[in-house]
Homo-oligomer: A and B are copies of this chain.
Amino acid sequence: MKFNETKNLISVARLICEETGSRLTEKRQHVLEVLFKLNTPVSAYELTEHYNAIIGSPITPMSVYRILEFLEAANLVHRLHSINKYIICAPTFGPWKHHPPLFLICKSCQCVKKIELGNDMIETLSLLTQKHGFLTTGSQIELNSTCEICVSVTKKSHSSGEANG
């Protein structure tokens, strides 16, 4: 299955750029590759550090921000506003849809899980939001919740003798 995912990613990215008349420059490509390697949400500054550690030529946070903005507009990167972090959004992570993805974000440890919503769900949500004068085109949903690990930790610290029922 995982045949040369990076190359796949880059070629898709190149196609998208060609469509819009923009360029997939070396830096942009490198940012994509670093994000792909990390495969976890990182802040722009963290990304800068990783970039400078991995790639030969250095980059500044300012450039990283600009490139992230570009890649987000190209649907190649998700910006997780809730935690001020960025994560790759590559065709390698599933078929290329423009469904609004649902991001589960743990309030406590900030781990993230991306979920594809079913068509029913999408439909219902779209209608609901339209009814309130909003359009979900190209949008994304962030659900600030709690992951099971953090839930169990909290439980323990709050009442250490509690059974797991």
Q: Which residue of B lies closest to A81 (CB)?
A: B82
Let me know if A145 and B135 touch, CB within 8 A.
yes
A133-144 to B contact mask, C-beta < 8 Å, 1/0: 111111111111
Chain A interface residue count: which class? 20 to 34
Integer count of this chain's copies in the complex: 2
Q: Report whether B81 and A104 are in contact in the complex, using a CB–CB cutoff of 8 Å.
A: no
**A145 & B151 in contact (Cβ 8 Å cutoff):** no
Known: A136-B143, A139-B145, A141-B144. 15 other contacts (CB 8 A): A81-B81, A82-B82, A82-B142, A102-B128, A104-B132, A104-B134, A107-B139, A113-B133, A115-B128, A133-B148, A134-B143, A134-B145, A135-B148, A141-B141, A141-B142
